[in-house]
Amino acid sequence: MATFKAIRIDKDDAGYRAAPTQFAESDLMEGDVTVRISHSTINYKDGLAVTGKSPVVRRFPMIPGIDFAGVVESSSNPDFKPGDAVVLNGWGVGETHLGGLAQKARVKGDWLVPLPAGLSPEQAMAIGTAGYTAMLSVMALEKFGVKPADGPAIVTGAAGGVGSVAVSLLAKAGWRVIASTGRVSEAGFLKELGAAEIIDRAELSAPGRPLGKERWAAGVDSVGSHTLANVLAQTKYSGAIAACGLAQGMDLPASVAPFILRCVSLLGIDSVMAPKAKRLEAWSRLARDLDRDKLAAITSVIPFDRAIQAAGLILEGKIRGRVVVEIG
């Protein structure tokens, strides 16, 4: 029986556990494209899946990993042929469909995006869902119409995966970026990415007033809860905030005051089920707009056997930027 290396998550009477294993190729799920994976990554959601600290995984056994990059091994999909380099983000992979922390995956071809020209598989995973989500957020702000001339942009969770890419993208687009982080020791790192000002996340993470002083015209929030409520309360008239994460919590203890008194807009960002046209646009923009040197500065590369450890560290806030997993 053909097998391949994978991280397997099980939940049964013995409890919830994740461990490296040899997975049977015959147990791969339905799909019209089989990919040999070269690189994956660790996102916040992967941390939740591997540790079981949130019910991310919906079926067992599961291979975690919401992202992967690799080469098509076989395909009955007309859009892909063996040898094509591809990237996948989301679509329930690593949650309801066997994921990317493995040497192989079988998926629907509609879920795949061709690896953009100029990006290596390692760079694509350095971007990953986190960077792709950051770009979707920037695109949403652009479509809304808010501009750098309107005022600064706030990025919360700035030293994390989404935040660090968002800082870089916004700074390159001409924004004066205010970076909020719980790791003020990372101020130098964030300024190298383009942040003009660093604030401690404590300024935003506690319960606040319905309205505060107007401080920024736009923002990318990956934290949620009180942080997002305070960001909204301090957004300028007709400003907009792109909400794409819930690191602090799923709740939003806010009032309607920013929306009806300052005409503030809250833009929801979904990276999991985004239509293919939007995915292709986001990846094209990332290949064009993201500074490769800055991408390298926020990226660390680890071997497959350290992926489970990294999944725990990302939940503890001990990972800066992006982590690429070399599958091998």
Residue 279 in domain: no
Range of the domain at 311: 3-115+298-326
Whether 65 and 134 map to the same domain: the answer is no
Ramachandran class of 132: left when φ > 0, alpha when ψ lies in -120 to 50, beta otherwise: alpha
Please answer whether residues 267 and 241 qualify as being in contact, where contact means their C-beta atoms are separated by less than 8 angstroms.
yes
pLDDT in tens, 144-192: 999 999 999 999 999 999 999 999 999 999 999 999 999 888 999 999 9
Residue 184 in domain: yes
Residue 68 in domain: yes
Whether 137 and 247 map to the same domain: the answer is yes
Whether 248 and 134 map to the same domain: the answer is yes
Query: Average pLDDT over the chain, rounded to whole?
Result: 96
Whether 7 and 71 map to the same domain: the answer is yes
pLDDT given at position 321: 87
Q: Is the pLDDT of residue 1 over 80?
A: no
Report residue 275's pLDDT band, with 50, 70 and 90 as the boundaries: very high
Whole-prediction pTM: 0.92
Taking the C-alpha atoms of residue 230 and residue 216, their distance in angstroms, rounded to an integer, is 12
Residue 234 has which token pair?
């301090």
pLDDT given at position 328: 86
Average pLDDT of the segment spanning 25-46: 96
Whether 107 and 135 map to the same domain: the answer is no
Residue 120 in domain: no
Q: Is the pLDDT of residue 209 over 80?
A: yes
Last residue of a domain, one of 219, 251, 268: 268
CATH code (residue 260):
3.40.50.720
Last residue of a domain, one of 268, 288, 318: 268
Taking the C-alpha atoms of residue 153 and residue 169, their distance in angstroms, rounded to an integer, is 11
Residue 290 in domain: no
Of all residues in the chain, the percent with pLDDT exceeding 90 is: 95
Q: Is the pLDDT of residue 56 over 90?
A: yes
Whether 98 and 162 map to the same domain: the answer is no
pLDDT given at position 214: 98
pLDDT in tens, 215-262: 999 999 999 999 999 999 999 999 999 999 999 999 999 999 999 999
Q: Is the pLDDT of residue 71 over 80?
A: yes
Whether 91 and 146 map to the same domain: the answer is no
CATH code (residue 41):
3.90.180.10
DSSP symbols for 19-58: EEEEEEGGG----SEEEEEEEEE--HHHHHHHHTSS----
Whether 169 and 261 map to the same domain: the answer is yes
Residue 113 has which token pair?
């995006």
Taking the C-alpha atoms of residue 239 and residue 258, their distance in angstroms, rounded to an integer, is 10
Whether 81 and 174 map to the same domain: the answer is no
Taking the C-alpha atoms of residue 227 and residue 304, their distance in angstroms, rounded to an integer, is 34
Residue 229 in domain: yes
Last residue of a domain, one of 250, 268, 286: 268
DSSP symbols for 275-304: -HHHHHHHHHHHHHHS-HHHHHHTEEEEEG
As a dihedral over the C-alpha atoms of residue 191, residue 193, residue 199, residue 201, rounded to 10 degrees, the angle is -140
Long-range contacts of 303-307 (CB under 8 A, 24+ apart): 303/328, 304/5, 304/20, 304/101, 304/328, 305/20, 307/7, 307/40, 307/42, 307/50, 307/101
Residue 164 in domain: yes
Taking the C-alpha atoms of residue 68 and residue 93, their distance in angstroms, rounded to an integer, is 10
pLDDT given at position 317: 86
3 state SS of 213: coil
Whether 142 and 83 map to the same domain: the answer is no
- Total domains in the fold of the chain: 2
Whether 263 and 213 map to the same domain: the answer is yes
Residue 178 in domain: yes
Taking the C-alpha atoms of residue 323 and residue 235, their distance in angstroms, rounded to an integer, is 32
Whether 193 and 134 map to the same domain: the answer is yes
